[in-house]
Chain A
Amino acid sequence: MSYVQINNVEKSYQGRQVLKKIHLSVAKGEFVTLLGPSGCGKTTLLRIIAGLERSDAGSVRVNGKEILAGQHKKGQNIGMVFQSYALFPNMTAYENIAFGLKLKKISPENIRQQVGEIMDVLSISGKENNYPHQMSGGQQQRVALARALVTKPDLLLLDEPLSAVDAKVRESARSLIRDIQRRMGITTIFVTHDQLEAMVMSDRIVVMNSGEIMQHGTPEQIYHKPENRFVANFIGTYNFVPGDWVGLSAYEGEVCIRPEHIQMLKKDQLEQFGDSGSVRLQGLLAHYYILGNTVRAEVVVGDRKILVDRLNGFQGSEFETNEEVGLVIDKDACTMLAPGRGEGN
Chain B
Amino acid sequence: MKKGILAKIVIILIFAYLFFPIVATLLFSVATKWTTTILPEGYTFSYYQQLFTSPEFIQSLLRTVYVSVITIALSVVLIVPSIYLTIVYYPRLERFFEILSVLPFAMPGVILAIGMIQMYSSGPIRITGTVWILIGSYFVLILPYMYQATKSGFRAINVKALTEAALMLGCGKLETFIKVILPNIIRGVISAALISVSVLFGEFVLANLLVGDNYETLQIYLYKLQKVDGHLANALVASYFLVILLLSLLLIWLAYRNNASAVRDRGKTS
Complex Cα distance, B183 from A213, in Å, reads 42
Complex Cα distance, B165 from A299, in Å, reads 52
Q: A82-B165, A84-B158, A103-B169 are in contact. Are A90 and B183 (CB under 8 A)?
A: yes
Q: Enumerate chain A residues within 8 angstroms of B162, measured Cβ to Cβ.
A: 86, 88
A299 CB, nearest partner CB in chain B, Å: 43
User: Which stretch, A73-81, A251-259, A262-270, touches the partner chain B?
Assistant: A73-81
Complex Cα distance, B164 from A80, in Å, reads 9
Query: Does B269 lie within 8 Å of A84, measured CB to CB?
Result: yes
Which residues on B are within 8 Å of A, measured CB to CB?
157-158, 161-162, 164-172, 175, 180, 183-184, 261, 264-265, 268-270
Query: Does A90 lie within 8 Å of B184, measured CB to CB?
Result: yes
Complex Cα distance, B162 from A312, in Å, reads 47
> CB of A182 within 8 A of chain B?
no
How many residues of chain A get a CB closer than 8 Å to chain B's CBs?
30
Which residues on A are within 8 Å of B, measured CB to CB?
50, 52, 72-74, 76-80, 82, 84-90, 99-100, 103-104, 132-133, 137, 140, 147-148, 151, 164
Query: Does A88 lie within 8 Å of B165, measured CB to CB?
Result: yes
8 A-B pairs with least C-beta separation: A100-B169, A86-B161, A86-B165, A74-B170, A90-B183, A133-B264, A80-B168, A133-B265
Query: Does B165 lie within 8 Å of A104, measured CB to CB?
Result: no
The number of inter-chain residue pairs (CB within 8 angstroms) is 72
Q: A86-B164, A140-B268 are in contact. Are A147 and B169 (CB under 8 A)?
A: yes
B183 CB, nearest partner CB in chain A, Å: 4
Complex Cα distance, B184 from A52, in Å, reads 22
Complex Cα distance, B168 from A80, in Å, reads 7
| Smallest CB gap from A78: residue in B | B168
Query: Does B172 lie within 8 Å of A85, measured CB to CB?
Result: no
Cβ contact of B165, chosen from A80, A137, A140, A151, cutoff 8 A: A80
Q: A82-B164, A84-B158, A90-B183 are in contact. Are A104 and B265 (CB under 8 A)?
A: no
Complex Cα distance, B268 from A50, in Å, reads 23
Q: Enumerate chain B residues within 8 angstroms of A89, measured Cβ to Cβ.
A: 157, 184, 261, 265, 269
A191 CB, nearest partner CB in chain B, Å: 15
Cβ contact of B167, chosen from A52, A132, A148, cutoff 8 A: A52
Query: Does A72 lie within 8 Å of B183, measured CB to CB?
Result: no
Query: Does B170 lie within 8 Å of A100, measured CB to CB?
Result: yes
B238 CB, nearest partner CB in chain A, Å: 40
Q: Enumerate chain A residues within 8 angstroms of B167, measured Cβ to Cβ.
A: 52, 73
Q: Enumerate chain A residues within 8 angstroms of B172, measured Cβ to Cβ.
A: 72, 74
Complex Cα distance, B184 from A103, in Å, reads 19
**Which of B168, B171, B269 is most buried by chain A, counting CB atoms within 10 A of its CB?**
B168
Complex Cα distance, B157 from A147, in Å, reads 19
B250 CB, nearest partner CB in chain A, Å: 21
